[in-house]
Amino acid sequence: MDCILRQTHFLNARLADGSLADLTVTGGRFSAIAPAANAAAPPAGAVDLAGQLVLPAFVEGHIHLDTSFYGDAWRPHIPCTDGFDVRERVAFQMRSLEQAAPMDERAKNQLELCVGHGSLAMRSHVMVDAAVGLKHVETILGVREKYRELIDIQLVAFPQSGILSSPRTAELLDEALKLGCDLIGGLDPASFDRDVNGHLDVVFGLAERRGVGVDIHLHDGGTLGLFEIEEICARTAAMSMQGKVAVSHAYALGHISADTLARAGEMLAASGVAIMTNAPGNHPFPPVAALRKAGVTVFAGSDNIRDSWWPYGDGDMLNRANMIGYRSGFYEDRELEAACDLVSHAGAKALGLEGYGIAVGAKADFVALKAEHVPEAVVAVPRERTVFRRGMLVARDSRMTS
């Protein structure tokens, strides 16, 4: 991508505050942002955004690049035989994946879906266990390399089959980090491995040894899940890992009383542990407004997109912001803005992204769409949008341009 010396002008961009601005991009970063000049003779090659709202490119904070069937044959969802069971679902997943198109093709389908909708940074969990070994990690590392000019991808070595209950997984996770994964993952230390301390010892031990962040899948609910969150916070603080640890899903935070939640919010904020939610449809999830008020970084992800876990997901983080707002009862403008924050600035903070935003010096990764302001963008979710990577057009109307 030849953008090092290139300078591009974007005219009449509507900023989040409602003002119109001209944006100059030099070498892939914003070099100037000034009130719209309406110059009689605009610079050669200038792009007139004609008052379209400009948002920083969305941050896809939780996805599974290795397991989606998006773009592959339709696979009807298979229910568990007796209520939801993670182990049974993992077994279904293994069987389905064996019959699926090659992983790199499926990952590419999913990446292009996300980029098309305007996500230019993402965190993907990638399965590591005794059965698949490092195969998924190696494939997705290759996909990341191939798409590095287009999208920034963080990979989490994800123990989909547990750590203590899946042989050699601790060693495999360590290998995955050496190969290039950016974070170490985890999975329900209590309900899956039946050993909270044993599971977290491995996770935080690897984080320390390899100097990486942590992002743990935690579906465990109620007081059990809260106990695990307390343990994660305590270890994060003890290891001075504030800002480098996230808990994904954290359904427990949606199950507890307001008083208990207030204390949990203080604890999460103080220990710098972020919470990821996709605003699931039919069960409680972390109360976004209360956690944000407590100072917790709450970010968002699609989670599974059309895979063996469920058939939903469209890779559109603006639609995810809409869903988060809808599920959270966000009606006021400031609330709709908060929903958008989860898929943009808060996501960038959780992922520790450098140079994020519509600001001089920031990378010129942005989305332009027809909306008066952020609240309208969140309720209308316009699919007509253009996506720019380092100031260069990469997608239009939710499809990649090349």
**Residues contributing to the site for its own copies (CB under 8 A):** 74, 76-79, 281-283, 306, 310-314, 322-323, 325-329, 331-333, 336, 372-373, 375-376, 379-381, 383
Return the number of the residue (329 or 352) whose C-beta is nearest its own copies: 329
Q: Nearest-CA neighbor of 156 among 134, 122, 123? A: 123
Shortest spacing between CB 378 and its own copies, in angstroms: 8
Nearer to its own copies, 184 or 324 (CB): 324
Find, among 192, 234, 195, 248, the residue nearest to 64 by Cα: 248
d(CA 252, CA 268): 13
Can you read off the two tokens belonging to residue 290?
A: 């209360």
Q: 194 or 331: whose CB is closer to its own copies?
A: 331
Instruction: Report the candidate in 343, 335, 323 with the shortest Cα–Cα distance to residue 57.
Output: 343
Give the nearest distance from C-beta 216 to its own copies in angstroms.
24
Return the number of the residue (150 or 378) whose C-beta is nearest its own copies. Answer: 378
Residue 126 beta carbon to its own copies: minimum distance, rounded to whole angstroms: 23
Nearer to its own copies, 47 or 336 (CB): 336
Rounded to a whole number of angstroms, the minimum distance from the CB of residue 29 to its own copies is 32
Asked if 400 and 388 touch (Cβ cutoff 8 Å), the reply is no
Task: Tell me whether residue 87 or residue 283 sits nearer to its own copies (CB atom).
Answer: 283
Relative to beta strand 245-249, strand 29-35 is unpaired
Distances in whole angstroms, Cα of residue 237 to Cα of each of 105, 158, 231, 245, 350: 40, 22, 10, 10, 16
**Under a CB-based contact definition with an 8 Å cutoff, are residues 124 and 65 in contact?**
yes
Q: Burial level of 28, CB count in 10 A (0-12/13-18/19+)?
A: buried
CB of 286 to its own copies, least distance (A): 13
Q: Residue 254 Cβ, how far from its own copies at the closest point, in Å?
A: 11
